[in-house]
Structure 1
Amino acid sequence: MKDKKADIFQSGKELFLTKGFKDTNISDIAKNAGIGVGTFYNYYSSKEKLFVEIYTKENEQLKKAIMESLDLNQDPVSIVKKIVERNIDAIHANPILKEWYNPDFFRKLEKIYHKESGESNDSLPNIYKELFKKWKMEGRIREDIDDELLLAFFDSLVYIDTHKEEIGIQHFPQIILYLAEFIIKGVTDFQK
């Protein structure tokens, strides 16, 4: 028996990778999956819902690969810089992940993403949360900054990245890398 949902997922993934979100339509996805458009709607209520499912899976795989590539015994500055560098490189190399930064689609994607999938264990905030918890227990990170504020520092990097045109595109991704470094140095600096 053929798994139609898996076929739709794979078809959507292929088309989103090659054509992008905007230029992919449901009839293309259905045709590529060998099904009718009506059958598509038996599994997904919209192209956006399919995209979010694909995006979530791609994002989880990226974060897992990043974490597996790290030496967690390194100092926090080195680890955070590597996480940010690898995340930026992967986002720019993967058209599906890059859609998160598409200003025409970002707000819609963000709403659906948080409603449908919430935060997975492999999301960047959860990765940072676990690292901060570990580093606090080891005495490597300031105690006077609560966990929520620590995460907010790094969440702000995403918002800065989504406004890179206003700041000056010529400064990216260097500005994000430096800001991540400055933040982690600040939260690990006990000399204050």
Structure 2
Amino acid sequence: MPKQTYFNLPPEKKQRIMDATYEIFITENYEDVNIRDIAKNAGISIGSFYQYFYDKDDLYLYFFNCIEKKYMDKQKEKTSSILFGKETVPIEEVCTKIEIEFNRTWYKVPMEVMQKFYFGEYSKELDAPLMDELMEYKNAGKLKDTVDIQFIFHLYATSMFNILNYFRENNITDENERLEIKQKYYKDIFLNGILKD
């Protein structure tokens, strides 16, 4: 997560950093991006960069997480559920073109960066509303009695990592095919395993 000094910045400066981040990760391979170029494009010094973020991964994951959170909030608003909604809101209805382009870079980041996301603080923060939904369903008696909420929550987060790994290993690059595979898994396997009939 960014340091508090980043959150204390004026909105205009935060916007410059965000714009520079989007631009550089969209146009360059993740491995080729360096702090010097990010700082130069954002109009800040390298020293300032390290006052705001711990490293390149932290910067990338923060802005990726912001987009994912924006999308999940809209999914919840439109369907009353993130996990149990009957329909999926198209990302084009929620995000700007540049946010979508930046979000698509996720499929090309190193696996170590994905691991930091899915097994670290970002995933816990992003998926907290999912935990709330699971608790609501459990309290309403809609989940199987044997369901351990903490375990299911962990399975949900880590399955996303494994699905992306599956896409890479099988060279699945078509966005519609990816979405179909994810939806099938969550509806046919994941939810059927935890919901009462």
Q: What TM-score do the two structures reach when normalised by structure 2?
A: 0.67
Q: 8 Å contact 2:24–2:38 — kept in the other structure?
A: no
Residue 56 (1) aligns with residue 52 (2)? no
**Residues of 1 paired with 2:145 and 2:102: CA distance?**
38
User: What residue number does 2:43 align with?
Assistant: 34
- Unaligned segments of structure 1, at least 5 residues: none
Q: Secondary structure at the match of 1:139?
A: coil
What do you get for the CA RMSD once the two structures are aligned? 3.6
Shift, 1:174, TM fit: 1.2
**Aligned mates of 1:147, 1:101 — CA distance in 2:** 29
TM alignment of 1:1-192, pairs within 5 A: 9-20=14-25, 22=30, 24-72=33-81, 77=84, 79=85, 82=87, 85-86=88-89, 94-104=100-110, 106-108=111-113, 110-111=115-116, 117=122, 119-120=124-125, 123-124=126-127, 126-155=128-157, 156-167=159-170, 169=172, 171-182=177-188, 183-190=190-197
Cα drift, residue 178 of structure 1: 0.8
Unaligned 5+ segments in structure 2 are 1-7
SS in 1 for 2:124: coil
Please say which structure displays the higher CA radius of gyration. 1
Q: Which residue of 1 aligns with 2:3?
A: none
Q: Bigger shift: 129-138 or 50-59?
A: 50-59
Q: 1:34 and 1:175, CA in 2 relative to 1: closer, same or farther beyond 3 A?
A: closer
Partners of 1:14 and 1:40 in 2: how far apart?
A: 14
The CA deviation string for residues 67-102 of structure 1, in whole angstroms up to 9 with x for no partner, is 222235xxx75x1x54xx448777996244334433
State the aligned residue count. 177
Q: Quick one: structure 1 residues 35 and 176, their matched pair in 2 at CA, closer, same or farther if it must change by over 3 Å? A: closer
